[in-house]
Amino acid sequence: MKILLLCVPYDSGKSGISVCIRHIVRELAAQGHELTLILEASAAGMPEFVGFEHIVLPAWTARPLFSMLYCLFLLPWRLPRRKWDRLIITAANRRMLLRKPCETYAIVHDLSQYHIPTKYDVFRMFYIRHVLPYCVRRVPDVVAAVSRSTADDLVRFWRIPRGKIMLDYNGVDQSALPRDANDASEKVVLYVSRIEAPGKNHANLIRAWELLPPEITKEYRLLLAGSDWSGAEDVHRQAEASPCAGSIEFGGFVSTERLLELYRHASLYVFPSFFEGFGLSLIEAMACGLVCACSNNSSLGEIAADAALTFDPAKPEEIADAIRRALTDASLRAELRRKGLLRAAEFDWGEHAAKLAGQFQGFAEVFGIRFRTGTMDQALDEIDSMLKSPRPDGQPYFCAFANADCLNIAYKNARYAEILNAADAVWADGVGIAISARFMHTPVHGNVNGTDMLPLLCRRGWSIYLFGAAPGVAEKARERLLAEFPMAKIVGVDHGFCKTPEEESAVIARINAAKPDILLVAMGVPKQEEWIVSHRARLNCGIAVGVGGLFDFASGRIPRAPFWMRKLKIEWTYRLYNEPVRLFRRYVIGNPLFIWRVVLHGSRPRHRKEDHA
C-alpha cells in the first residue's frame, strides 16, 4: 500500500507524539508499505526519516501558528489526489487538513485541553475547540483513538460518531526495552514527564512525598525527570520550599539510554497526572518489571488495569499511601511486577501500525439503528468468525441487510427497529444508506448486499439452506447456483408459504435435519426478520440471514442490472424500469422521503420505548 503520513508536529523528537510517529514509520515500513512522509524542515534530516520520500513544509512554518494554518489551508492543495492509497494523520489533535487526497485515517492522542482548561492560550483553545473538531468530523474516514478514554472524549467533546472511531492502543517496543530487567537496586521513586503545572500534577506528588514516613523519604529519592514546560517555575519553587527538599531531584530531559537505565534500577514508577491520552511511560516501566502506581483517571486507570496501584490524583494522601505500600509490601510488589509484565505484553507497535494500514469496520447510525460500514470481505470474515465461534446460548447468529427501504420501514415500525438493533450484524446495502451515513460523517466502505454475497458464500463452501419466496423459486435458484458453482453446498430448499403451524414445524424440522451453516430466509421485510427472531430458539443452524428478494434474482425470475449500472450505483433505476408498478412507491416516493427523514432526524432514534410498550 502507498501510504502518506503527516508527521507534523515532530517536537524535535522529544514528545510522546514523536515517539509514536517513529514507531509508526518503522512498523509500516517493516510491513512492506511504500511511505511518503510530510515533515517539518527541522525534522527532514533526522536519521529515523532517512531513506523515505519526503514532502517538507516551508521553513517559515516553524512557528506553531504558521504550521497550523499551512496544514489547514495550503498543504491540502499541494497533495495530488489518488497518488496514495491512504493518508495517515499522526496527530489530528494538533494538525488537520481541510481536504483529503485519498482515504484518510486520523490519530487523536488526547483532548486534555477540555480537562485542563488553562493548558493553552485563547487562540489555541479556539483552534482546538472549534477548528479541529470541524475538520475531524468531516475529513477523515476513520478516527483512531489511542485509548477508550480518548474515544469517549471524541464523542463527548467533538461529537465524532462512535462508529467512525477505531480503538488503536499505542504499543511498547519490546525489542528495545530491557524486558523484566528491573532490579530495584537504586532507591529511586521515578516520574518521567515534562514539568508542567497543573496538568502533570507534580504539586500533589510533592505534597504526597511530604506525607510519607521519614524512614522512606530519607532512604529514597523522588526523581522528577523531564524538560521544563508551562508552570515549571511553580513546581521548582514548591520543591525547594518543601521540608523534604533534600530528597527531591529534577533530572531534566532524559535521553533514551538514561531512561532505560532508570527503568532498570528504580524502585517504583509513579504517574500522578491529572490527565493522559495514553501514558506511554507507564507501559514501558511495566515492561521492564518496574512496580507502578498511577492515577485512576483518564486513560491511566484503563491502561494500568489491575497491574498497578491506582489513586485519586487530587488526593495527596492516597498518592502517599500507594507509594508507601508499593515500597514496603514485598508480596504486593511481586504481584504487581508479575501483572505488569503480562499487561505490557498486550501492547504492540506492530499491531498499532497494522490497524492503521488495515480495513476498519465501524458502524453508522440512522434513526437510532446501527449498521456496519465495512466491506464485503469484512462481512464474509465476520460470518467466518461466527461459524467458528458459536453463540454460548446455542442459538444461531442473526444477521440482516439494511437499505433505504428497510430504514424507511423501521422509521415507522418500532418493533422492526428493535429487531434490527438486536441483530448480531446489520450490513449496509445500497447507495441510499451510504448517502445517509455520509451525512452523519461516517462513510460506508462497501455495498454489502445479498445478491453479491450469495455467490461468495457458495465459493466458500459453507452449507446453505434456501427458505422463502414463492413455490418453485428456491428450487430454481438452487439449480442455477449448482450449475454455476458445482462446489456449492445447497443442503435444502423450501418455499415460504406455510399456511399452518404444522407446515411451519415441518419446515423447521427439515432445516434442523440438514444442519446448515447458513439459513437464508426470503420473506420480505420485516416479515423475514420477525420470523427468524420468533423461531430462533428452535433452529439448528449457524447463522440465519434475512435476504428479501434474493431468490428471485438467483433464480433468474428477475434480471439483474448490468454491471456498469451497479458500478455507477444506479441499479435501482433498472429495477424500477423492470417493475415500475411494484417499485414506484419504494423508489420514486421512498428514496426522497428517506433522505428528507435523514436530514430531519439524523441519527436520533425515531421511536421511544413507550411507543411500543
Residues 222-251 have pLDDT tens digits of: 999 999 988 999 999 999 999 999 999 999
Report whether pLDDT(387) > 70. Answer: yes
How far is residue 372's CA from residue 382's CA, in Å, rounded to a whole number? Answer: 11
Write down which residue in 558, 574, 597 finishes a domain. 558
Tens-place pLDDT, residues 462-499: 999 999 999 999 999 999 999 999 999 999 999 999 88
> Comparing 54-63, 143-152, 430-439, 502-511, which segment has the lowest mean pLDDT?
430-439
Residue 606, pLDDT score: 66
pLDDT bracket for residue 572 (50, 70, 90):
confident
| Same domain membership, residue 205 and residue 98 | no
Considering the domain boundaries, does residue 351 fall inside one? no
Give the residue carrying C-alpha cell 448517502.
435
Encode pLDDT of 520-550 as tens digits. Answer: 999 999 999 999 999 999 999 999 999 999 9
What per-residue confidence (pLDDT) applies to 420? 96
Q: What is the pLDDT of residue 613?
A: 31
Residues in the chain: 613
- What's the pLDDT band for 607 if we cut at 50, 70, 90? low
Indicate if 139 and 246 belong to the same structural domain: no
Expressed in angstroms, the distance from the first to the final Cα of the chain is 51
Whether residue 437 is predicted with pLDDT greater than 90 in this model: the reply is no
pLDDT at 288 over 90: yes
Is residue 568 pLDDT above 90, yes or no? no
CATH number of the domain residue 467 falls in: 3.40.50
In SS3 terms, 131-183 reads as: HHHHHHHHCCCEEEECCHHHHHHHHHHHCCCHHHEEECCCCECCCCCCCCCCC
DSSP H helical ranges for 349-469: 349-357, 376-388, 404-412, 414-422, 431-439, 450-460
Whether 282 and 145 map to the same domain: the answer is no
SS percent in the chain: helix, strand, coil, step 5: 50, 15, 35
Residue 442's pLDDT band (cuts 50, 70, 90): confident
Residues 11 and 142 in one domain: yes
- How many folded domains does the chain comprise? 3
Q: Are residues 108 and 217 in the same domain?
A: no
Provide CB contacts within 8 A for 183, sequence distance 6+.
264, 265
333 and 192 share a domain? yes
Q: Tell me, what's the pLDDT at 13? A: 87
> pLDDT value at position 412?
92
Q: Does the structure show a pLDDT above 60 at 611? A: no
Same domain for 134 and 212 = no
Q: Which of the four pLDDT bands, split at 50, 70 and 90, describes residue 325?
A: very high
298 shares a domain with 219: yes
We report the CATH number of the domain holding residue 302 as 3.40.50.2000
Asked whether residue 340 is domain-assigned, the answer is: yes
- Asked if residue 203 has pLDDT above 50, the reply is yes
Residue 132 falls within a domain, yes or no?
yes
Asked, for residue 338, whether it belongs to a domain, the answer is yes
**Contact between residue 377 and residue 165 where contact means Cβ atoms under 8 Å apart:** no
In a shared domain, residues 162 and 193: no
Q: What is the mean pLDDT of residues 335-340?
A: 97
- Residue 208, domain extent: 188-344
Where does the pLDDT of residue 382 fall: very low under 50, low under 70, confident under 90, or very high at 90 and above? very high
Specify if 273 maps to a domain. Answer: yes
Last residue of a domain, one of 321, 344, 367: 344
Last residue of a domain, one of 511, 531, 558: 558
Give the pLDDT score at 117: 75
Share of the chain above pLDDT 70, in %: 99
Q: Which range among 163-167, 255-259, 351-355, 535-539 shows the weakest confidence by mean pLDDT?
A: 255-259
CB 90 within 8 A of CB 17: yes
Same domain, 161 and 43: yes
Strand partners, 167: 145
CB 246, CB 218: distance < 8 Å? no
One domain for residues 257 and 204 = yes
* Domain assignment of residue 374, yes or no: no
Identify whether 393 is part of a domain: no
34 with 154, same domain: the answer is yes
- Of the chain, the percentage scoring pLDDT greater than 90 comes to 81
In sequence order, what DSSP letters do the residues of 569-604 get, joined into one string?
A: T-HHHHHHHHSHHHHHIIIIIHHHHHHHHHHHHTTS
Inside any domain, residue 384: no
